[in-house]
Amino acid sequence: MRIFIAPLAAALLSSTALAAPPPATGYGIIEGLTTEVGQRLAGTEAEARARDWAVAHLKALGFANVHVEPFDMPVWVRGAETAEVVAPFPQKLVLAALGNSGATPEAGITAEIVGFPSLEALKAAPDAAVKGKIVFVWHRMLATQDGSSYGTYGAIRFSGAAIASKKGAAAMLIRSIGTDHHRVAHTGVTDWGDGVKPIPAAALTVPDAEQLERILARGKSVTLHLTLTPHMTGTHQSGNVIAEVPGTDPSAGIVLIGGHLDSWDLGTGAIDDAAGVAITTTAAKSILDGPRGKRTIRLVWFGAEEPGGFGGLAYAKAHGGEKHALAAEADFGGDKVWGFRASLALPKSPLRDDLTARLNLIGVEPRPGAAHGGTDVGPMVVKGTPVIDLEQDGTRYFEIHHTADDTLDKIDPVQLAQAIEAWSIMLRTVVDSDDPLAPLPPRQEQE
Catalytic-residue membership of 84: no
Residue 71 or 332: which CB sits closer to Zn ion?
A: 332
- 399 lies in the site for Zn ion, by CB under 5 A: no
- How many C-beta neighbours within 10 Å does residue 65 have? 13
- Per-residue burial over 374-385, b if 16 or more Cβ lie within 10 Å, else e, is bbbbbbbbbbbb
How many residues at the interface with Zn ion, by CB under 5 A? Answer: 3
- 329 lies in the site for Zn ion, by CB under 5 A: no
Segment interacting with Zn ion, rule: CB under 5 A, options 51-59, 85-93, 324-332, 422-430? 324-332
Residue 287 or 314: which CB sits closer to Zn ion?
A: 314
DSSP string over 322-371: S-EEEEEE--S-SS-EEEEEEE-SSTT-HHHHHHHHHHHTTT-EE-SS--
Residue 190 or 433: which CB sits closer to Zn ion?
A: 190
- 265 lies in the site for Zn ion, by CB under 5 A: no
Which x/- pattern, by CB under 5 A, does the window 218-257 give for Zn ion? ----------------------------------------
Contact present, 415 and 393 (Cβ < 8 Å): yes
365 — phi, psi (to 5°)? -115, 150
Q: Cα(212)–Cα(93) distance, rounded to whole angstroms?
A: 9
- 391 lies in the site for Zn ion, by CB under 5 A: no
Give min distance, CB of 395 to Zn ion, in A.
Answer: 17
Give min distance, CB of 273 to Zn ion, in A.
Answer: 4
- 406 lies in the site for Zn ion, by CB under 5 A: no
* Annotated catalytic residue, options 244, 305, 306, 421: 305
- 331 lies in the site for Zn ion, by CB under 5 A: yes
Question: 273, 335, 389, 435: which one contacts Zn ion (CB under 5 A)?
Answer: 273
Residue 122 or 141: which CB sits closer to Zn ion?
A: 141
DSSP string over 217-271: HT-S--EEEEEE--EEEEEEEEEEEEEEE--S-GGG-EEEEEEES---SSS--II
Residue 180 or 272: which CB sits closer to Zn ion?
A: 272
Give min distance, CB of 280 to Zn ion, in A.
Answer: 13
The angle, 0 to 180 degrees and rounded to 10, between the axes of the packed helices 413-432 and 350-360 is 150
- Per-residue burial over 222-253, b if 16 or more Cβ lie within 10 Å, else e, is bbbbbbbbbeeeeebbbbbbbbbbebeeeebb
Beta strand extents in 37-104 (DSSP E only)? 64-77, 81-87, 91-93, 95-97
Segment interacting with Zn ion, rule: CB under 5 A, options 70-78, 269-277, 346-354, 362-370? 269-277
Residue 331 or 335: which CB sits closer to Zn ion?
A: 331
- 208 lies in the site for Zn ion, by CB under 5 A: no
Question: 180, 244, 262, 272: which one contacts Zn ion (CB under 5 A)?
Answer: 272
Amino acid of residue 272? D
Binding residues for Zn ion, per CB under 5 A? 272-273, 331
The set of catalytic residues is 305
